[in-house]
């Protein structure tokens, strides 16, 4: 989520922006607490993009926590966008690099909701680390870029293009994803 004033990254439950200090507008997401296919319970919104939202969710059978990417309902009836979402999820499921987010499952719920169940990442994005620490030592940058390059190499070999590679989408959790 982003601050409406400075466009800084916001934590899902933040009351104030950590960059400009402005009070955030808390909006209750109607998806919180709902079940997807009687399999996943949506617990908290993590991020939102143009085509969908990513939630922290619980897999009910195993009681494990994961990330659930859900296509916005506005786009569910758009055949081309829905097909693109499903193609993306199928492609992601083929990736096995240790620096790539794990895709567990993809599907369409009975109500037509399209979703991708993925590994929930802990830690911070590269953008957050830049903002927190400033310039990083070259050795750390090199290690990060090697991991990112390794992940992208596998994706490109399978014909997958990332299309949104930026520091906010590089995740550091002790490793790089």
Active site residues: 164
* Spatial separation of the C-alpha atoms in residues 111 and 168, rounded to whole Å: 32
* Spatial separation of the C-alpha atoms in residues 79 and 117, rounded to whole Å: 21
Contact 124, 132 (CB under 8 A): yes
* Spatial separation of the C-alpha atoms in residues 103 and 101, rounded to whole Å: 6
- Supply 110's token pair: 């009975």
The strand pair at 40-48 and 52-59 is best described as antiparallel
* Spatial separation of the C-alpha atoms in residues 17 and 31, rounded to whole Å: 23
* Spatial separation of the C-alpha atoms in residues 37 and 158, rounded to whole Å: 30
């Amino acid at each position: 989520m982003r601050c409406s004033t400075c466009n800084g990254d916001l934590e899902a439950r933040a009351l104030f922006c950590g960059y400009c200090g402005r009070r955030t507008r808390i909006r209750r997401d109607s998806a919180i607490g709902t079940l997807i296919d009687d399999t996943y319970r949506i617990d908290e919104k993590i991020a939102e993009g143009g085509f969908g939202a990513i939630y922290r969710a619980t897999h009910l059978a195993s009681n494990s926590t994961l990330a659930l990417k859900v296509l916005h309902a506005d786009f569910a009836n758009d055949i081309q966008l829905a097909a693109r979402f499903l193609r993306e999820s199928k492609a992601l499921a083929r990736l096995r690099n240790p620096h790539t987010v794990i895709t567990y499952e993809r599907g369409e719920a009975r109500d037509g909701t399209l979703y991708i169940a993925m590994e929930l990442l802990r830690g911070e994005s590269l953008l957050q680390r830049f903002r927190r620490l400033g310039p990083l030592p070259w050795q750390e940058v090199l290690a990060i870029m090697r991991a990112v390059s390794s992940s992208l190499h596998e994706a490109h070999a399978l014909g997958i293009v990332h299309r949104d590679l930026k520091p906010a989408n590089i995740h550091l959790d002790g490793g790089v994803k």
